[in-house]
Structure formats: C-alpha cells, structure tokens
Amino acid sequence: MTAAMRPEPLIFEMSTPGHRAYSLPDLDVPKEKLADLLPANLVREKAPELPEVAEVDLIRHFIRLSEKNHAVDVDFYPLGSCTMKYSPKINEAVVRYPGFANVHPYTPDELVQGSLQLMAETEKYLCQIGGLTRVTLQPAAGAHGEFTGLAIIMAYHKDHGQGHRNKVIVPDSAHGTNPATAAMNGCQIVQVKSNERGGVDLDSLKEVLDENVAALMLTNPNTLGLFDENIHKIAEMVHKVGGLLYYDGANANAIMGLARPADAGFDVVHFNLHKTFSTPHGGGGPGSGPVGVTAKLVDYLPVPTVEFDGTKYYLDYNRPKSIGKVKSFYGNFGVVVKGYTYMRALGGQGLKEASEDAVLNANYLMANLKDAFYLMYDRICKHEFVLSSKWQKEKYGISTLDVAKRLLDYGMHPPTVYFPLIVAEALMIEPTETESKGTLDRFIAIMRKIAKEAETEPETLHKAPLTTPVGRLDEVTASRKPVIRYKKEA
Ligand SMILES: *Cc1c(COP(=O)(O)O)cnc(C)c1O
C-alpha cells in the first residue's frame, strides 16, 4: 500500500525536516574535539534518518493509534487463560515513586532496604498463597518461570543420583508453554489423555509412570477451567515413582485463599504476577513469573535470595546448589512492585473474595450461555470455561473465528479461540472478578444475538468485523511474510 492510500500515515511519513518534539541543549564539547574523544569508527558521518515531528503531532499520532486497540480499560476482555482483569491505577502510582522507579540495580544493599523488604514481603505473601517454603522473583514471565521451575526439579534429581530422569508428563489440555518448557530443559514430553470429566485420565497416567519420570506438569484448575478432583491421587501416583509435581499457576485466580497447591502435593509452583496479580500484560510488555518451592527444593533456587538477619535485609549469593541466575539482577522489579501493591490493597481476605467472585462470574456466564453454545464439560467451572461453536458450525457453517470476529463489531474483545485443543471450535471465556453484572449481562446478550445471527444472517458473520479500522486479515501472509521494518519509498 502506498502512503497516500493508508488511512493513517506512519510516523516516518509524517516527518518534516526541522520539526522537533524535544530540543537538546547545544553541545558543550567543541565539534573538532569530538574526533579526539570518540573512537573514529563510532563517529557517524551523517545523522540517522529518524522521523522529525513536533510534540503535538507525535502525541496525536500515538493517541490515535492507541484508540484503535482494544484494552481492558476500554471494554470487556474475556480472553481465557490470560486473566485480563482490570489493573487498579494505584499500582501505577506506587511503581512511579522515585525510590522504586529510579533505583539503580548496583545500589548497595544498605541504601535499598525498602526495595529489598518489598521483595521479601512479596515472597512471603506468595508462599502463603501457595503453601510454599521459598519463592524467587527472578523469572520474567510464566514460561520463564516454568523453565526455572523445571530446571530446579532437574537439579534436584541430579543431586539425588537420579540424573537419568528425563520424562515430563503433560496432559492434553496443557498450555503450550508446558511441553515447550520440557523441551527447553532437554526432557522428553509424554502426553496423557483427559477423562470424560476433563481431568487427567488415571489409566492413561498409570501407563506412563516409571523410574524415568522427572515431573508431571499440571494446571489445576486446568485450561478447561475444571478442578481435577483426583489431584491427591495423581500426586501420590507421581511421587510413588520418584517424580515431582509442577503446578502451572499462571492463573491462580480461582484458588487464592481457597486452595494451596502445596497442600495438594505440588512441589514447585509458578505464578504470573501479570495475570493473577493485576499488572498489565500483552504486547510483549514486561511480566513476572515468580517460582515457589517446598522445603526440599530450596537449595536449588536461583541466586541471589533476599534474606533478613534480624536488623537488615541483604542478598545471598552463597548458595552452592543453586541453578544460578535466570535473569539479570532481580527480575522485573517494577512488575513486582505493582503485584505487591495489588496484594496489599486487597489484603488476604480481599484476594480470597477476588477468587470467589472470579469463579462466580465464570459460572454466571456459563449458565446463561450453555443453551446457545455447546458446552462439552457441563459441570461447575472455576475461573473460566470453554464453550464451542460446534452447533453453529454443523447447522449454519459458522466457525468460532466468525463468532470471535463478530464480537469486535459489538465492541468486546473475543475470548481465546481454538484452545484448549481437545475442544473443537473452542471459545475459552474468562470474565475475571473485576466485571460488573451489567457488563456480564451485556456480553450474554451479545453472544446470544450472535448465535441468532448465525441462523438468520450467516453472511454477516463470515464478513465480520465490519466496524473496525481493518477487516479480516490474511493471517497466513501476516505470519509467513511479516513486514516488520519500515522501508522508505524511493
Ligand atoms: C499465560 C500462561 C502461561 C505462560 O505465561 P507467559 O507469562 O505468557 O509466559 C503458562 N501457562 C498458562 C496456563 C497460562 O495461562
């Protein structure tokens, strides 16, 4: 597309020579001296071709772009497994305190006692929520936490003369990061089937249990939003053959203050601060995936740990069995500050109520939609549930993609689609606790309207979205031939 045809110019196309959003003071080093001060190969011959725009044009450009995006601050965002809850603005206020925002990671421990205390307290709260002994805040995301947690498990096995253990069991409902984590740790991935209630099939599990099992990775409630009633039995079976249990707690939104993974037999847990603990995510922004362990795995945690000697906090690097560092310095500290603020703002009772409301909201939606869309596992759900467009597909040729795209026309973000893989035409819906009954009722009405449209005007659904800045994109070309770099037109 040429620049003239595009509805919005790119920032480069808005460039006018000499326009500035910000002026730097004049150089106080004489130009001719620069050559002596800088290595010749680092001195530019000509200025970089950056866009030249005035502040007002710059602001308008990015505000206009931002208004084209859907966000949780705009309307409902029921993206299952992603916990797109509202992020309270107090988190942003606290993370901007100069003492947190401007601190340098090399500042001596004595001068950052507040930051160390905040890390130690965040660790303590997560330990309480998970029933764990210690937690590291270093991993930068859920997937990174999984990698760290499994590396800890592998180090434990090796340390106990069990270095041969290389099998990691994952259910067929698992999040894609679980098998990826196993592969990144050099393990063999073994899949187990789900049973008719959406939990782990015990016979299928029994078949793959042997002395080579390193771990079972489980999400509970799983990606179907279902709590596995056999969890104690599963833990017993895995532990019996010497394997450990990994809890994918990316979405702990159904369990806070209600069920502690360690009580159910899990040895390692990761949390996503950027889901359960309300810090914003998406668009590749910073995350935080703390990993907690039970007593027998504490020695293997990454360095440094944050310790308290009775009068002051300090960092402990002297941990010979540690798996080492997994991230520079202390992880994404700003995200930790936001998660901490959220926990302090709600308190223990508040976190429990958040979980109860998240579960209530999900069940309210499920009960009001299950006659309009097929529900494969018809039982009480936790924080999310999975519908399917199977009926619409069979009767009217309407796919889940059509339904998802049509939701955009009504101003709502679609649910997660085509996941988990074991439900055909899946629509995975997670309302979170932060939505009002009014919003939930509006979503129900819209979904029911779309179900009706599937019957009466299927063509509209095939063409949706009709009201957004761009319509249906060619996803294959977008992923196979992505244009991610601006090329100046000659
Ligand atoms: C989001 C999620 C992950 C991965 O978390 P990231 O921060 O995106 O890496 C892992 N497991 C489950 C169940 C998730 O929902």
- pLDDT tens, position by position, 164-192: 999 999 999 999 999 999 999 999 999 99
List the single range of 5-14, 116-125, 207-216, 304-313 with lowest mean pLDDT.
5-14
pLDDT at 6 over 70: no
Could you identify the atom of ligand 1 that is nearest to the CA of residue 141?
7
User: Tell me, what's the pLDDT at 488?
Assistant: 77
* 340 and 332 Cβ atoms separated by less than 8 Å: no
How far, in Å, from the CA of 86 to the mean position of ligand 1? 18
How far, in Å, from the CA of 144 to the mean position of ligand 1? 9
Domains of the chain: 11-67 (no CATH), 89-346 (3.40.640.10), 356-480 (3.90.1150.10)
User: Tell me, what's the pLDDT at 33?
Assistant: 83
Question: How far is it, in rounded angstroms, from Cα 94 to Cα 119?
Answer: 14
From 248, 272, 335, the mutation candidate for ligand 1 (largest count of ligand atoms within 8 A of CB) is 272
Res. 475 pLDDT band, cuts 50 70 90 = confident
Q: Which three-class secondary structure state does DSSP give residue 77?
A: coil
Dihedral angle, C-alpha 388, 394, 395, 396, nearest 10 ° = 80
User: Tell me, what's the pLDDT at 450?
Assistant: 98
83: Cβ below 6 Å to ligand 1?
A: no
User: Tell me, what's the pLDDT at 233?
Assistant: 98
Q: Is 446 exposed, middle or buried (0-12, 13-18, 19+ CB in 10 A)?
A: middle
254: Cβ below 6 Å to ligand 1?
A: no
pLDDT at 394 over 60: yes
Q: Summarize the confidence of residues 301-309 as an average pLDDT.
A: 97
How far, in Å, from the CA of 132 to the mean position of ligand 1? 20
Predicted TM-score of the model (pTM): 0.92
Q: What is the mean pLDDT of the chain?
A: 94
From 83, 175, 181, the mutation candidate for ligand 1 (largest count of ligand atoms within 8 A of CB) is 175
Q: What angle do CA 175, 178, 181 make, to 5 degrees?
A: 145
How far, in Å, from the CA of 188 to the mean position of ligand 1? 20
* 314 and 337 Cβ atoms separated by less than 8 Å: no
* 364 and 440 Cβ atoms separated by less than 8 Å: yes
User: Tell me, what's the pLDDT at 92?
Assistant: 95
Could you identify the atom of ligand 1 that is nearest to the CA of residue 143?
9
pLDDT at 202 over 80: yes
249: Cβ below 6 Å to ligand 1?
A: no
Closest-CA residue, ligand 1 atom 14, reads: 250
* 408 and 414 Cβ atoms separated by less than 8 Å: yes
Give exposure, 347-368, as e/b (b: 16+ Cβ within 10 Å): eeeebbebbebbbebbbbbbeb
Q: Summarize the confidence of residues 3-12 as an average pLDDT.
A: 72
User: Tell me, what's the pLDDT at 379?
Assistant: 95
Q: Express as a percent the part of the chain with pLDDT over 70.
A: 98
pLDDT tens by residue, 132-174:
999 999 999 999 999 999 999 999 999 999 999 999 999 999 9
Q: Which three-class secondary structure state does DSSP give residue 217?
A: strand
Res. 256 pLDDT band, cuts 50 70 90 = very high
141: Cβ below 6 Å to ligand 1?
A: yes
User: Tell me, what's the pLDDT at 152?
Assistant: 98
Q: Express as a percent the part of the chain with pLDDT over 90.
A: 85
434: Cβ below 6 Å to ligand 1?
A: no
